[in-house]
Structures are given as C-alpha cells and as structure tokens.
Amino acid sequence: MDSDVDIAPPRERGHGDRASPRSPEGAGGLPAAARVTSHALIAGLPVVLLGVVAVVLGPQITAALGNRAVAAWRTVFTAIVIQGVPFLLLGTVVSAAISTFVPAWVFTRVLPRNPALAVPVAGVAGAVLPGCECASVPVADSLMRRGVAPAAALAFLLSAPAINPIVLVATYVAFPGNPQMVAARLIASLLTSVVMGWLWIRLGREEWLRLPKGPTRHTPGASRAEEFRVSLQHDFLHAGGFLVVGAAAAATFNVAVPHSVLRLFSDSPWLSLPMLGLLAVILAVCSEADAFVAASLTGFSPTARLAFMVVGPMVDLKLIALQSGTFGRAFALRFSSATWVVAVLSSALVGWWLL
C-alpha cells in the first residue's frame, strides 16, 4: 500500500495548484483531460529526462567510458545480458506456464513416487528443454513449487542446459570427426546431475532451500491469464536482476584475467582439469556456445576440455547469482561447490573411459 501513498499525493497537489485557478468548479470534461495530460506528463518525464541527460552529458560520459578496459568490460557485460535475456524469458514463460496451467497431479503421475527413482527420470527429462542455463533455474523453481521432489528438480536443473539436443549438436559441430566427445559430454553431464540429485536426498537439508515468496499463485478470483502475466513479470524481473549481477562478475573476470594465463597449466594433466573447470566458472559462456570455446582450447587434453563443457552449464558466475536469487545464497554456494567437484570428478572418470 505504501507505494500508492508515495505516488498519489503529488498528483493531487499538482492538480490543485495548476488546474484550480482556471476551473475552480472542476467542469465535467476538464478533470479527465487534466488527468490524461498528467498521466502523459508523468509517463513522458523520465524518458525526456534520460534523453536530456544522454544528450547533454553524452560526450563527457563517453569520454569517461573511453578507457579501453572499461569499454571492453561494458561490451562483455552487455553481451552476456543480451544473450541471456531471450533464454531467461523462455525459461520464465515455461515456468509461469507450469505454475499456472499445468495441474500438480501431472508431475506426481509422471514422476516415480520414490525420489531416488525420480532423480534419474528428471535428469533424462532435462533433454526436452531447449536453451541455455538461464532458462533452467526458473523452471526448476516452478517444478519445486508444484510439488516435485527437490532432488528431482535439481537433477533437472543441472541436466537441462547440458544435454538438450541443441547443445549436443553444437558439440558435434565443434568437434568434427570426434563423436566420442558428444557421448562423453552426455554421459558425464547426466552422471553429474543424477549423482547430485542423490546427494541431495542423502545430505540435503530443506532449510538451505529458500523458495522466494513471489506473488501468491492461484489467487481466488484472478483469471489464469492474469495469474500467468503476474508470475511471468515477477519471475522475469527477479531473475533478470540476478542475471545482471552475474554478468557483471563474469565480465570483470573476463576482462581482468587474460586467458593466456591458463595456458601455463596446460602441460600438467592433473592441474589442467580443475583449471579448465575454474575457467568455465568464471567465463560464464552459455552452454550452446561453450563447445566452440572448448574446441579452441588447443593444447589441453580432451578430458580437460570435457570438464570445461560439463562444468560450464552447471556452475558459473551468472548461474550462482541466479540460483542465490531464486533459492537463497546458503543453497547456491553449497550446491554449486558440490556440483563443481562432482562434475570435475565425473568428467575425469568418463574422459578416462571414453576419450
């Protein structure tokens, strides 16, 4: 309610000051016209103000931003946000649809009752959500709200960005003549997500998971479409804010750390594995593109590159930011570090077996 109090009084006063000398009686048409004008004024004001600021201060701001490192940072930051927004929007549309249009019994019917069995099923089901990791966080969140066991939803969260067809085709294209890499990526990613699901059943605590209180779903009296809109808007703005945080962190590392530093470690097979795992975390490349980046990391062993592709969609700076926004920081830090370890180990295992 406080927001209404904040906004409304200035409007009333503005009306009184300006409109009353001319029409003290408030003739029928005038208040409406004044109301429309003031609506337009208030709506247009921020745009005009920002435009003026941009035009007047533009050169100065551009000069301050002319520093080449700052310019590179802004470009990388903008790039990460821009490429994340469509996928985030896709994810929030799917998650809003799940929470408004799909009845809860669908999930209890489809998934095995036993969480230990539901985990692998959910992991494999990750293959159906095309998109990169930004999309999977809101979807996993809405699955949990709909009564899916957290362990199963988490397995889905991890596997969806890593094993969907688009990503696997991209991997196939990036490593021509090397289909083992696609198989290894699929197996290692599935393995990691299932192991993490089981680990959650075994060690996870409900209190780490903080599901945010969005606008209450299923409001009596509100139409389904209205509910969908409110939940879409809330989820998108919420996750979008955290995407910005993650993009800023990733851009900082991207610009501050020259990638050539990592080449120092390319000689040691045991160090190169965790090093590329770390690189995947700080680069925050989207999962549809990371195969191309991995392919360009010549000089590293295939297993280390596999680790880069397995860790990337599951743990990176923008994902950690998104997860802490959705599930809470206590969860995000624990879950991400455990996932990182499991992902590196399972890529080592699968790489040793297949590559």
Partner 1 sequence: MKRNIQVLLLLFLGVGLLHISLLTDLYLRYVRPGLRPALIASGVLLIVLGAVSAARDGFPFNRPRTHHGHDHGDGHGHAGGPKVAWLLYVPALTILFLAPPALGSYTASRDDATAPKAPSSGDSLFPALQDTGVVPMSLNDFSARAVWDTSRTLKGHTVRLTGFVTPGRHGTWYVSRLVISCCAADAQVRKVRVHGAAAPPADAWVTVTGTWHPTGKIGTDDASPALDATMVTRVPAPKDPYNDMVVTRPGRPGR
- DSSP symbol at 216: P
The span from the CA of 79 to the CA of 58, in Å, is 21
The full length of the chain comes to 355
Cβ–Cβ under 8 Å, residues 291 and 170:
yes
Tell me which residues in 6-35 interact with partner 1 (CB under 8 A): 6-8, 11
Closer by beta carbon to partner 1, 141 or else 290: 290
Pick 143 or 279: Cβ nearer partner 1: 279
- Nearest CB to partner 1, comparing residues 85 and 116: 85
**d(Cα 287, Cα 196) in Å, to the nearest integer?**
19
| Of the candidate residues 26, 27, 33, 39, the single one contacting partner 1 (CB under 8 A) | 39
Name residues contacting partner 1, limited to 312-331 (CB under 8 A).
Answer: 325
Contact flag: residue 49 with partner 1 (CB under 8 A): no
Region of 142-150, 208-216, 302-310, 345-353 interacting with partner 1 (CB under 8 A): 208-216
In the region spanning residues 109 to 168, those forming contacts with partner 1, defined by CB under 8 A, are none
**Residue appearing with tokens 């903080």:** 210
Closest CA to 146 of 106, 116, 110, 112: 106
Report 56-75 residues binding partner 1 (CB under 8 A). Answer: 58, 61-62, 65, 68-69, 71-72, 74-75
How many of the chain's residues bind partner 1 (CB under 8 A)? 83
Cβ distance to partner 1 smaller for residue 47 or 203: 47
In angstroms, the CA 347 to CA 195 distance is 13
CA distance 154 to 136: 10
Burial track 92-113 (b if 16+ CB lie within 10 A, e otherwise): bbbbbebbbeeeeeebeeebee
String of DSSP letters for 111-175: S-SSHHHHHHHHHHHGGG--S-HHHHHHHHHHHHHTT--HHHHHHHHHHHHHHSHHHHHHHHHHS
Q: Give the footprint of partner 1 on residues 218-277 (CB under 8 A).
A: 219-222, 226, 229, 232-234, 236-238, 240-242, 244-245, 247, 250-251, 254, 258-260, 263
Binding to partner 1, residues 168-187 (CB under 8 A): 174, 176-177
| Closest distance to partner 1 from the beta carbon of 54 (Å) | 4
Q: In the set 9, 31, 51, 147, which binds partner 1 (CB under 8 A)?
A: 51
Considering only residues 274 to 293 of the shown chain, the ones binding partner 1 according to CB under 8 A are 283-286, 288-290, 292-293
**Residue 282 to residue 317: CA distance in whole angstroms:** 6
* Residue 86 sits in the site that holds partner 1 (CB under 8 A): yes
